[in-house]
Amino acid sequence: MFVRPVKVFDRTLSTAPDKSITHRAVMFNAAAEGEAVVENALLGGDCRSTISCMTRLGARIEVSGGTVRVRGAKRFADAALDAGNSGTTTRLLAGLLAGRGVNASIDGDGSLRSRPMKRVTEPLCAMGADIESTDGRAPLYIRPAKLHGIDYVMPVASAQVKSAVLLAGLGADGETRVTESVPSRDHTELMLKAMGADITKSGSSVIVRRSELRATDVRVPGDISAAAFLFGVAAVVPCGRVTVTEVGLNPTRTGVLDVLCRMGLEVTRDNLKAGAEPYGDVTVARVGALRPFTITAGEVPSLIDEIPLLAAVAAYAEGDSVISGAEELRVKESDRVETTVVMIRAMGGEAEARPDGLVVRGRGGLKGGKVDSFGDHRIAMSAAVAALASRDGCEILGSDSAAISYPGFWEVLC
Ligand code: S3P
């Protein structure tokens, strides 16, 4: 894909449906009693992996347009599961299946096989699960086991790990408590509560007890992590202004908006709809020069997936932007510290990798050139945003990876 520079970008758009919420709505309803409809579901590669895994486990799932009808499996069938590129599918399923009396394996593509799984197998085994990994990675092999609750203090800020333990807790004796020092996205807790689970929050802990789930309809809001790319365009293009309608505004996910404000962009929220998963229309407009920013550990979980994009935007500011406490970036679909630095340098910018993050030395713009996505959807889309305001434009190799989380991205952008 070759992305040519533009001078103006002033548009009102909807964005891709939320990936995290779609995964959960399909997976949890597949484990629930009854039938539910998931409206405005994301049908990108990752969520399709979840749909196919839950179908293999015995749920009846029909997809029609953006609507997914899910009839829960009374009892999961033994299955060999392919989670594709999706860490969320793998880790959440490991927790969900651990105490449900099934023999299952979970495998995926080369990127998934390189990602750490000990972070879920360790707490699940501490609950009594019988899970074997392949040197701490996928494929995972799950066998039937009787689980008991644990009191788990999270060693990493990860919603996937938190969710895996909570889902296992639904089928465990006694109480399962998960405590996190920095809050990660709470879609699992909110959805389990709506589905009738015995789950409560107490300070920085979530407590769950054995529960059956009730099938529950879900309307998925727009994904703020997908909208972030559109906001990024408004930030880098000289006359940039973007309104994204009906985008999810769960406060555990909105860190990107705070950083864009700190960079000097005008960020406004309209038509706000309250609820467990609030949403509304968000406008980002460029009103002058961009300022560099600092991101530290406490803010990282609220914008973890947006860091490659924010780093690309930082190349359009004047001065050094510093991102620290973000070592988790190294174990995403690619090592996003390295792939983000390589992307910025390939476009003529200056950036430096650090063990726990990166520094972008903003010089008010990028030349462009040729960038490899390394098969990582968020690197491909971040490069595209940076390219739209570059001097010469940019060729993006592996651009089709965007379909993992944002089918239709290229039609919106180019
Ligand atoms: C996700 C959690 C995050 C995020 C991923 C989706 C989720 O991962 O990066 O894209 O849906 O729970 P971690 O929880 O591992 O940080």
Q: Please give the pLDDT value at position 252.
A: 98
Q: Which of 18, 20, 220, 379 to mutate to test the pocket of ligand 1 (most atoms within 8 A of CB)?
A: 20
**With contact defined as beta carbons under 8 Å apart, do 174 and 147 qualify?**
no
> How far is Cα 46 from Cα 28, in angstroms, rounded to an integer?
16
- The CA 188 to ligand 1 mean position distance, Å, reads 11
Average pLDDT over residues 161-173: 98
Q: Please give the pLDDT value at position 309.
A: 98
Average pLDDT over residues 146-171: 98
- The CA 159 to ligand 1 mean position distance, Å, reads 6
Phi and psi, residue 33, nearest 5°: -85, 120
328 within ligand 1 shell (Cβ under 6 A): yes
Give Cβ neighbours of residue 248 (< 8 Å, ≥ 6 apart): 18, 21, 221, 222, 223, 224, 277, 278, 279
Residue 74 confidence (pLDDT) above 90: no
> How far is Cα 233 from Cα 242, in angstroms, rounded to an integer?
8
> How far is Cα 25 from Cα 192, in angstroms, rounded to an integer?
10
> How far is Cα 372 from Cα 223, in angstroms, rounded to an integer?
24
Strands 239-248 and 279-285: antiparallel
- The CA 309 to ligand 1 mean position distance, Å, reads 16
Residue 186 confidence (pLDDT) above 90: yes
CATH numeric code, 2-16+221-413:
3.65.10.10
What percent of the chain clears pLDDT 90, i.e. is strictly above it? 99
| Whole-structure pTM value | 0.98
Dump pLDDT digits (tens) for 247-268: 999 999 999 999 999 999 999 9
* Ligand 1 atom nearest to CA at 304: 9
Q: Token pair for residue 380?
A: 């491909």
Q: Please give the pLDDT value at position 248.
A: 98
Note whether 2-16+221-413 and 19-201 share their fold: yes
19 is in an annotated binding site: yes
What does the mean pLDDT of the chain come to? Answer: 98
Q: Does the structural domain 19-201 have CATH classification 3.10.20.30? A: no
115 is in an annotated binding site: yes
> How far is Cα 372 from Cα 338, in angstroms, rounded to an integer?
12
- The CA 88 to ligand 1 mean position distance, Å, reads 6
* Ligand 1 atom nearest to CA at 332: 9
49 within ligand 1 shell (Cβ under 6 A): no
368 is in an annotated binding site: no
* Beta-sheet strands, E only, within 187-275: 198-202, 205-209, 218-219, 239-248, 266-273
Q: What is the dihedral of CA 105, 373, 159, 281, to 10 degrees?
A: -130
Burial track 353-362 (b if 16+ CB lie within 10 A, e otherwise): beebbbbbbb
> How far is Cα 272 from Cα 263, in angstroms, rounded to an integer?
23
* Ligand 1 atom nearest to CA at 158: 14
Active site residue 305: yes
Strands 318-323 and 357-363: antiparallel
Catalytic residue chosen out of the listed positions 18, 305, 372, 376:
305
Confidence tier at 27 by pLDDT (50, 70, 90): very high
Confidence tier at 414 by pLDDT (50, 70, 90): confident
Dump pLDDT digits (tens) for 49-71: 999 999 999 999 999 999 999 99
88 within ligand 1 shell (Cβ under 6 A): yes
* Ligand 1 atom nearest to CA at 163: 12
Residue 99 confidence (pLDDT) above 90: yes
Q: Where are the domains of the chain?
A: 2-16+221-413, 19-201
Q: Please give the pLDDT value at position 299.
A: 98
Q: Please give the pLDDT value at position 253.
A: 98
- The CA 47 to ligand 1 mean position distance, Å, reads 13
